[in-house]
Structure 1
């Protein structure tokens, strides 16, 4: 039942059919003044039409917020996540998950500025995004009222939603009257497709689903070789050319797209309890992950590297489940960031038909000592005989166990 005490609500608004319906529903059901927020996250679509649609729906000009947040998104969310080499369930680079806390943060900022008492989103009651948005809201503004229309309204079918749209003169494109083949979420890090033609995990995804990459078999027969420079764990230049975070990721996306890199067909475990199948494309992120691990391989101490690898699954789960603004994520981030102080240098990467291969790495902080690892006589003293005692000490408990078992 609508809370009639709500006077102003900040809606995460894309300008698409679903959020246009939600906008009108908030006006009619709550009688609330709606403030719209539309974020340019690098989704590859023109977002300015959202302004005209909001105006047509009766939103005041001063209540329409459209913001280019691409640089903030990459600098403050994507890059910190990649410092941890973050992958969920061994494969997913969390492109959707990492965008939600930024949108939530912006909505709360607008709510404070405009004196709004509620925020709203268009996530359904079956998915993870409702959790991510709302944990973000409450983590930043604990007493905010959250309106989740998909959990509240009485529409029983898509047809009922479309009838509501027609009744309130919300424009419906012809393809919306049929069943959409799949749903898409996109930003500068990735694109995500799920539903409809992708619901059977036994069936290969049609080629038309892929929108960020060419097929690996159609990629050039000649490899592309690039260099990526790092400072404190973050990429700062490609082929020696310094770039801003969003510009650099855009360039990596182009390189990945042209070489068929970054496709993933995944059945994942949602936080809400069900499994779902999604097709993800993360071309630039896939290159970045390989390159970052490459520079870490010569700059991180073994203990620090192995500890990071142990912490990463916990960090990934926190991001996936929506706990970006939690103290445990911030604690892990502090440890990860400390580890990156000397993760600097250059990585040479080969891109070829869907594959990313690190073929060279250099750093002023390199821990790689050729004199230690060479098969030739090195300048640094390493007594091979020392290894015997090392092995015997490590084998001691195994020998004790073996003697006991032999007696038995």
Structure 2
């Protein structure tokens, strides 16, 4: 096994971003037993853990040998600072992926950095490998927020395979579900990613048992989503005090249909392409429903500029640049654009798919009193259109006339 490149002495206080999975479990055991560090673990819950699971993670951390363990409830702050803007922008990376892990890691990195400052730690540790995006996201935020704190990444720096990690932990008598560890699963409020041997190549689909949510519904079901200024506040007749509660409730309904399963192929920050499986029933339904509502209540140029800014926002967020001040500027635009995005969207859920049936909104610009597309006009005359068409194409007509005269 390769050596960890750090000169910090035994007894050094370090803060570890801890999930309880294979990589971070290895970090605790290795850093405490081989390096003699005083490890303080922190888990940032962004919606992927139940109360019971958090208690199990805490017990696991102490069994591994941490000095202290801290749980940060970041679900609502995660939504307020990141997810709501992804909804406002209808953000899907490469028209496919709702940035489930990308967004989650940034929220976690920010809270881990704050905890490291609070603990006055000499180093901060994360379990990222050297082949993915997370290493850049964590490192960059730590460099900005805690520049004088050393960053330690055992999995990346020691170039460890999952098999080597499992072998080491078994040699130390650590009891874990190593069979489950064959798949890397990251669950959060905005979706769950699943990585395994099938996603390491350009061809291959995850087996049914690898998906965290199993399909148990077969009969179509209709849901009504209520939005107020772009935020999901109501499902059917149930009102929610915070959109996070609505998202989790919708996930409990739609997830059982197997909706939102897909494989994302994308360009990583470090320049290679990668594949990852994900399931995101609630995010996919919400994004498509929200977009459908926007197409009814926003003008052509509002939609046009939203699309352009949102695409940049999603890409820049994906690459870890949440602290760039331009992100606050775009968030201000996206927030203002939601002023009239209020109404209800009707969605039919079916096994592995869903369909947006329609919307109802007092701000609907598809009002019949102004005309019905392809049928009847009531706000203009045929002569109005003839004149408009001539003026609207006037410069192009001049261009073609000049071109013809100069042949």
TM-score higher than 0.5:
yes
CA distance in 2, matches of 1:231, 1:128: 34
CA distance in 1, matches of 2:376, 2:160: 75
CA-CA distance at 1:321 after TM superposition: 0.8
- Preserved CA contact (<8 Å) 2:130 2:157: no
CA-CA distance at 1:140 after TM superposition: 3.1
Aligned to 2:296: 298
Match of 2:225 among 223, 228, 234: 228
Match of 1:371 among 354, 366, 369: 369
Kindly report which structure 2 residues correspond to 1:379-390, keeping only aligned pairs within 5 A, or say none: 381-390=379-388
Aligned to 2:202: 201
Aligned to 1:55: 62
1:239 aligns with 2:236: yes
- Preserved CA contact (<8 Å) 1:213 1:262: no
Change (3 A) 1:208 1:297: same
CA distance in 1, matches of 2:207, 2:19: 26
Change (3 A) 1:44 1:213: farther
1:94 aligns with 2:94: no
Change (3 A) 1:57 1:357: closer
Q: Deviations over 1:159-212 (max 9, x none)?
A: 543443345443354538xxx653222212212122313333333432223223
Aligned to 1:274: 272
| Residue range with higher mean Cα deviation, 189-198 or 398-407 | 398-407
- Preserved CA contact (<8 Å) 1:48 1:66: no
Change (3 A) 1:157 1:367: closer
Q: Deviations over 1:255-296 (max 9, x none)?
A: 222333212122222121111122211100111011111221
Change (3 A) 1:70 1:404: same
Q: Secondary structure at the match of 2:313?
A: helix
CA-CA distance at 1:404 after TM superposition: 4.7
CA-CA distance at 1:59 after TM superposition: 2.2
CA distance in 2, matches of 1:92, 1:156: 28
Kindly report which structure 2 residues correspond to 1:102-251, keeping only aligned pairs within 5 A, or say none: 102-153=107-158, 157-173=161-177, 175=179, 181-212=182-213, 214=215, 219-221=217-219, 223-243=220-240, 244-251=242-249
Q: Secondary structure at the match of 1:43?
A: coil
Aligned to 1:353: 351
CA distance in 1, matches of 2:214, 2:388: 50
CA distance in 2, matches of 1:123, 1:30: 19
1:253 aligns with 2:257: no
Q: Deviations over 1:360-391 (max 9, x none)?
A: 3222333333211234463xx42332222322
TM normalised by structure 1 equals 0.88
CA distance in 2, matches of 1:181, 1:64: 26
- Preserved CA contact (<8 Å) 2:41 2:61: yes
- Preserved CA contact (<8 Å) 2:257 2:352: yes
1:65 aligns with 2:97: no
| Residue range with higher mean Cα deviation, 99-108 or 138-147 | 138-147
- Preserved CA contact (<8 Å) 2:17 2:41: yes
Q: Which runs of 5+ in 1 are unaligned?
A: none
TM normalised by structure 2 equals 0.88
Q: Which runs of 5+ in 2 are unaligned?
A: none
Change (3 A) 1:405 1:194: farther
Q: Secondary structure at the match of 1:27?
A: helix
| Residue range with higher mean Cα deviation, 75-84 or 226-235 | 75-84
